[in-house]
């Protein structure tokens, strides 16, 4: 009989397990996505995202305060405009809902909290695509870049410390960096959704922002194909070359191989977005009593960190942070 190797020795007590744990999860590594809706008189719950709301500006500020108090790393804003049009002008209007909300958060926190703005047109276009359309109905990449540049400037001017382009247009990071620099916003950070996959897990988010893609269309013409792995590295490298300060992989759990690849190949901070469908799956199974939702949420967020992400965007941000603190 050979002597038995006993790795279990290190698992005997909770203190030992903590001592040798390889991965940490702290509140500052979580970012809370928050929705703010124009002309809403009180916050409205989002059915497919239990516990999440379309906020008024004042309930948004209150929620951001609770996140801040729980040690959450920051918030990222998504807007729900009152009306939509073919260019998504609410995205770059100085009085657009996200710009109004950014100014309110800036008044509240100044530089004491990281406030990010998702930078895309889909919440604001009447056709639901992330860019403007050509006459054949396809998304016009380069015409869209011009509007992203305007949106970046509007968001930075309203107080966004970080802008996060999520439209997957080619050249979007370069266009935004150039625009921000020439408008004097040299310190505005770009968090690029670099490897954003055309995923079926965004359904509840589209309910939250009331987006329906015209004609039952989809985003496969611009977001990545889930069959591809190498392509994510190409996208991320281009974004870094164009000036991305931080890169993102999205969704999270089904793309941990991508997180791991990018972590190995690149030296910028990396985050992952634990998206609406991932949150909804946990919430709905937990509501049935089929899983322990709190435990599964924690396990998944740790997995994202273990794969190599520095931080995670998650609808669990405040909830998990409050539990980590208690």
What is the contact surface with ligand PBG in residues (CB under 6 A)?
118, 120, 122, 130, 166, 202, 205-206, 219, 275-276
Q: Which is nearer to ligand PBG, 102 or 275 (CB)?
A: 275
Question: 123: closest CA among 90, 170, 168, 99?
Answer: 90
Reading the block at residue 115, the tokens are 């406030």
Question: 50: closest CA among 252, 281, 254, 212?
Answer: 281
Whole-number minimum distance, CB 266 to ligand PBG, in Å? 22
Catalytic one of 84, 134, 250, 283: 250
Quick one: residue 60, left, alpha or beta (phi over 0 = left, psi -120 to 50 = alpha)?
Answer: alpha
Length, in residues, of the chain: 326
Q: Residue 9 — φ and ψ, nearest 5°?
A: -50, -35
Contacts of 111 (CB under 8 A, 6+ apart): 161
Q: Which is nearer to ligand PBG, 151 or 188 (CB)?
A: 151
Whole-number minimum distance, CB 273 to ligand PBG, in Å? 6
The answer to whether the CB of 275 falls within 8 A of the CB of 205 is yes
Q: Which is nearer to ligand PBG, 109 or 316 (CB)?
A: 316
3-state secondary structure of 119: strand
Whole-number minimum distance, CB 309 to ligand PBG, in Å? 16
Question: 60: closest CA among 92, 97, 89, 29?
Answer: 97
For residues 274, 317, 119, 207, the Cα torsion angle rounded to the nearest 10 degrees is 70
Whole-number minimum distance, CB 166 to ligand PBG, in Å? 4
Whole-number minimum distance, CB 116 to ligand PBG, in Å? 12
- Could you confirm whether 250 is annotated as catalytic? yes
Catalytic one of 84, 134, 196, 283: 196
- Could you confirm whether 84 is annotated as catalytic? no
Q: Which is nearer to ligand PBG, 68 or 219 (CB)?
A: 219
Q: Which is nearer to ligand PBG, 112 or 149 (CB)?
A: 149
Instruction: Write out the catalytic residue numbers.
Output: 196, 250
């Amino acid at each position: 009989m050979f002597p038995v190797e006993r790795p279990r020795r290190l698992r005997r007590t909770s203190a030992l397990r903590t001592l040798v744990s390889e991965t940490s999860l702290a509140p500052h590594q979580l970012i809370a996505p928050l929705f703010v809706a124009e002309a809403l008189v009180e916050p409205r719950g989002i059915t497919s995202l239990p516990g999440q709301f379309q906020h008024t500006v004042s309930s948004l500020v209150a929620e951001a305060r609770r996140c801040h108090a729980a040690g959450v790393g920051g918030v990222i804003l998504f807007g729900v405009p009152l009306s939509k049009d073919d260019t998504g002008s609410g995205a770059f209007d100085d009085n657009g809902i996200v710009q109004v909300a950014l100014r309110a958060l800036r008044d509240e926190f100044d530089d004491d909290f990281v406030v990010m703005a998702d930078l895309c047109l889909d919440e604001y276009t009447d056709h639901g695509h992330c860019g403007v359309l050509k006459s054949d109905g396809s998304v016009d990449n380069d015409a869209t870049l011009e509007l992203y540049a305007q949106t970046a400037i509007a968001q930075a001017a309203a107080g966004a410390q970080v802008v996060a382009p999520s439209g997957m247009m080619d050249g979007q990071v370069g266009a935004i960096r150039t625009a921000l620099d020439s408008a004097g916003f040299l310190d505005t950070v770009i968090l690029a959704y670099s490897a954003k996959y055309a995923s079926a897990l965004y359904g509840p988010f589209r309910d939250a922002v009331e987006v329906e893609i015209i004609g039952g269309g989809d985003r496969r013409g611009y977001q990545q194909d889930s069959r591809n792995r190498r392509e994510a590295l190409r996208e991320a490298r281009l974004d870094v070359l164009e000036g991305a300060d931080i890169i993102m992989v999205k969704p999270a759990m089904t793309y941990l191989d991508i997180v791991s690849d990018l972590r190995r190949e690149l030296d910028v901070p990396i985050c992952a977005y634990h998206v609406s469908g991932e949150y909804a799956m946990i919430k709905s199974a937990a509501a049935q009593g089929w899983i322990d939702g709190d435990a599964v949420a924690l396990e998944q967020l740790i997995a994202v960190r273990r794969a190599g992400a520095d931080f995670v965007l998650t609808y669990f941000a405040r909830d998990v942070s409050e539990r980590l603190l208690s």
